[in-house]
Amino acid sequence: MDIILKYFSDFTPLQLQQLAALDGLYREWNEKINVISRKDIDSLYEKHVLHSLSIAATTDLPPGTRVLDLGTGGGFPGIPLAIFFPEVQFHLADSIGKKIKVVEGIASALQLTNVTYAHTRAEEIKNRKFDVVVSRAVAPLKDLWRWSKPLLQKSSHRPAGAAGGLICLKGGDLAQEISESGCRPALVDIYKLFPEEYFKEKYIVVVKN
């Protein structure tokens, strides 16, 4: 938890309480359904929560923004972002049902009223549009963009000042992946935001629509 407070300070008492609860909740759920590797659970706040919040450090999500977390796994980046942005609507989707069970349990325990979730694939989401799609290392950029594009709202329908497009967290040498995607994303070096060893060669990849 200290590592979060090293980089962010403007939390309400409720947000601090919710963030502090994540450790116990993920340990408890991880015993039943393994969503975080055993070695990573001890670094939950750095490798999962702070990593997720790198999006909050670089992206303005005004109240009323609708965000889809595609392939949320155990709830990253969606749950930390939902705590950070209580007036933004988050829909967390994953094709693996037991992972959504974890998300449901944690969102319920934290009383996150701005979170919905679904056991579904991106291609199966119909009649819904989002301002932003977020994702963490789920698939190659070309696939993420192909799945996201039909789900993204036109700029004229977004809340004033809301970013629009795909924001994903990725690591390593992305040159080939970007080239194959046909996109021209902006890259943010997370190590420059949070100069911790873990964030070397980790990036926020932004494709605007």
pLDDT at 209: 85
The answer on whether 56 is annotated among ligand-binding residues is no
The answer on whether 87 is annotated among ligand-binding residues is no
The answer on whether 31 is annotated among ligand-binding residues is no
Say if CB 9 and CB 51 are below 8 A apart.
Answer: no
- Please list the ranges in the chain whose pLDDT falls under 50: none
pLDDT at 45: 97
pLDDT at 8: 97
Say if CB 114 and CB 91 are below 8 A apart.
Answer: no
pLDDT at 22: 97
The answer on whether 73 is annotated among ligand-binding residues is no
Domains of the chain: 2-208 (3.40.50.150)
The answer on whether 76 is annotated among ligand-binding residues is yes
pLDDT at 19: 98
Neighbours of 59 (CB within 10 A): 20
pTM above 0.85, yes or no: yes
pLDDT at 161: 75
Long-range contacts of 150-155 (CB under 8 A, 24+ apart): 151/68, 151/122, 151/125, 152/209, 153/66, 153/129, 155/209
